[in-house]
Amino acid sequence: MTSAPTKSSTERRTRSGAGQPSWPFVIVANRLPVSLTRRKGEKHWTTSPGGLVSALTPIAQRAHGAWVGWSGSVDDRLEPFEHDAIAQVPVTISRQDHHDFYQGFCNRTLWPLYHDAVQNPEYHRHWWRSYVAVNERFARMVAETVQADGAVWVQDYQLQLVPALLRALRPDLRIGFFLHIPFPPAELFARLPWRRQVLEGLLGADVIGFQTERNRGNFLRVVGQYTRAQASDAGPIRHDGRRLQAAAYPISIDFELYESVALAPDTEPRVERLRQRLGSSRKVILGIDRLDYTKGIDHRLRAFHELLLSGLVKPSDAVMVQVAVPSRERVAEYAELRRRVEELVGQINGEFGEVGVAVVHYVRRNLTPENLVAMYRTGDVMMVTPLCDGMNLVAKEYVATRFDNSGTLVLSEFAGAAEELTDALLVNPHDVDGIGAAILSALTMDPVEAAGRMAKMRAIVRGHTVHDWARSFVADLVPARQRRSILGG
């Protein structure tokens, strides 16, 4: 997507116009749903990476709300604009913020700490100071954007201080917060030198949402331990004379949208072309992930390699396709993962490929929605094996595209999605032998059993879409009279 944004009503309705903020519903996330890149001095907008954007874009479009976030490019001072039927309100991130707030505190402290410390988190006071300063900037921008008595929905770990900062500026608002990634067990969270401040930031919200009950339980435990709030498993949290709610709201996808793209007339020819290029008689084992060390990409490559080495899988029978969406490339651990993955792909192809016939196809780029769905339709076995993951929407997207109940999902026990998709082949993603065994069962599964499992998973995803997710969160956040205008319909 590279279309140009327009100014339209957005500017008039925020601070640069009549002087009165006038959006009744505002989503706040670290990134805007579109990211800015410059090529030969020209601006290009592309869809921002990650499950958060794909989940919230349809909600923001339906709500005719504003979205406050960063454009993805440093030191830009952009005016509000409209794009994809969403009023986009940019917050400036300087080069220094990018280093200390984004790459530092967000992605080298919080990200690994909240993901079971699968990489060692680093704690630096200047990164924390930058996190505070950027959260303050977001809170001020939101305060200037939302109308009196409006509702604000703050997203994810980058902005955990915004709820309390915003409440101090605008006590008239209803404030929700949703954490897209796991909330860690108390033993891990306790390491954070600023644990009390983070919890007090979150407690500024009226409703705090988590992906799973387990995450909510982890949160309640540390609230009781490190703050003066009263938290129990039953009933609301009491804090500062207010009552607030912490609950699990498992996120989902737009099932109909994915299914309809899968059924669109030009999808099948794309799938056919892909199949022919991969070798029509070979089963396709597919992985699609952000190139992130939490996703377990290297473990699954090792499992496939060992199956080839053992002779249990022959290069003529199966081929692996790994799509890796570039992510956080300047963070050292991500660069190291890329090196490891590319080395493994090279090694496996070197040992088992032929000239013109690879056994692992590795594609490092973002796919268009049409190509993504064609890829899902091509995968006979879908590998979603993160070491730790809040939900994982790839698992749900795959299921939504399998309208004929074909295909098998291999899913990590440590993805939030495993709580719902219990008919997947569930694996411990650290257990390379276990992953190999799951690949083998998927490749050899009786088609009737596979179809039965897929049908059950499809019913679950169809029965709880991203719209249901948003509806249940917004129902807890705002009074009934405001809900209709936010959720439409």
Could you give the residue numbers annotated as active site?
Answer: 180, 389
**Is position 49 an interface residue for ligand F6P (rule: CB under 6 A)?**
yes
**Is position 52 an interface residue for ligand F6P (rule: CB under 6 A)?**
yes
Tell me which residues in 375-404 interact with ligand F6P (CB under 6 A): none
Shortest Å distance, C-beta 164 to ligand F6P? 20
Nearer to ligand F6P, 52 or 425 (CB): 52
Among 174, 180, 283, 338, binds ligand F6P (CB under 6 A): 180
Backbone angles phi, psi at 114, to 5 degrees: -75, -15
Shortest Å distance, C-beta 147 to ligand F6P? 26
Nearer to ligand F6P, 28 or 381 (CB): 28
**Is position 31 an interface residue for ligand F6P (rule: CB under 6 A)?**
yes
Residue with tokens 């299914």: 259
Shortest Å distance, C-beta 432 to ligand F6P? 26
Contact segment (CB under 6 A) with ligand F6P among 46-54, 131-139, 262-270, 329-337 equals 46-54
By rule CB under 6 A, what count of residues binds ligand F6P? 12
Contact segment (CB under 6 A) with ligand F6P among 50-58, 198-206, 329-337, 454-462 equals 50-58
Ramachandran bin of 212, using left for φ above 0, alpha for ψ from -120 to 50, beta for the remaining angles: beta
Rounded-to-integer distance, Cα 299 and Cα 433, Å: 10
Contact segment (CB under 6 A) with ligand F6P among 14-22, 44-52, 133-141, 281-289 equals 44-52
Among 156, 254, 380, 397, binds ligand F6P (CB under 6 A): 156
Nearer to ligand F6P, 297 or 425 (CB): 297
Shortest Å distance, C-beta 53 to ligand F6P? 6
- Could you tell me if 163 and 187 are in contact, meaning their C-beta atoms sit under 8 angstroms apart? no
Shortest Å distance, C-beta 115 to ligand F6P? 10
**Is position 66 an interface residue for ligand F6P (rule: CB under 6 A)?**
no
**Is position 327 an interface residue for ligand F6P (rule: CB under 6 A)?**
yes
**Is position 181 an interface residue for ligand F6P (rule: CB under 6 A)?**
yes
Nearer to ligand F6P, 249 or 352 (CB): 249
Shortest Å distance, C-beta 438 to ligand F6P? 25
Shortest Å distance, C-beta 34 to ligand F6P? 12
* Residue number, nearest CB to ligand F6P: 50
Nearer to ligand F6P, 142 or 358 (CB): 142
Per-residue contact flags (x/-) with ligand F6P for residues 107 to 146, judged by CB under 6 A: ----------------------------------------
Rounded-to-integer distance, Cα 271 and Cα 273, Å: 5
The residues near 3 (Cβ < 8 Å, ≥ 6 apart) are 45, 83
Shortest Å distance, C-beta 331 to ligand F6P? 9
Contact segment (CB under 6 A) with ligand F6P among 51-59, 235-243, 433-441, 454-462 equals 51-59
Shortest Å distance, C-beta 287 to ligand F6P? 17
Nearer to ligand F6P, 295 or 361 (CB): 295
Contact segment (CB under 6 A) with ligand F6P among 49-57, 139-147, 229-237, 334-342 equals 49-57
Angle between helices 480-487 and 466-477 (to 10 degrees): 150
- Could you tell me if 189 and 164 are in contact, meaning their C-beta atoms sit under 8 angstroms apart? no
**Is position 51 an interface residue for ligand F6P (rule: CB under 6 A)?**
yes
The residues near 54 (Cβ < 8 Å, ≥ 6 apart) are 253, 393
Contact segment (CB under 6 A) with ligand F6P among 47-55, 334-342, 399-407, 476-484 equals 47-55
**Is position 328 an interface residue for ligand F6P (rule: CB under 6 A)?**
yes
Q: Tally Cβ neighbours within 10 Å of residue 310.
A: 10
- Among the listed residues 454, 444, 449, 437, the one whose alpha carbon sits nearest the alpha carbon of residue 317: 444
Nearer to ligand F6P, 163 or 436 (CB): 163
Rounded-to-integer distance, Cα 176 and Cα 473, Å: 8
Nearer to ligand F6P, 54 or 267 (CB): 54
Nearer to ligand F6P, 227 or 385 (CB): 385
- Among the listed residues 214, 288, 295, 212, the one whose alpha carbon sits nearest the alpha carbon of residue 251: 212
Site residues (CB under 6 A) for ligand F6P?
A: 30-31, 49-53, 156, 180-181, 327-328
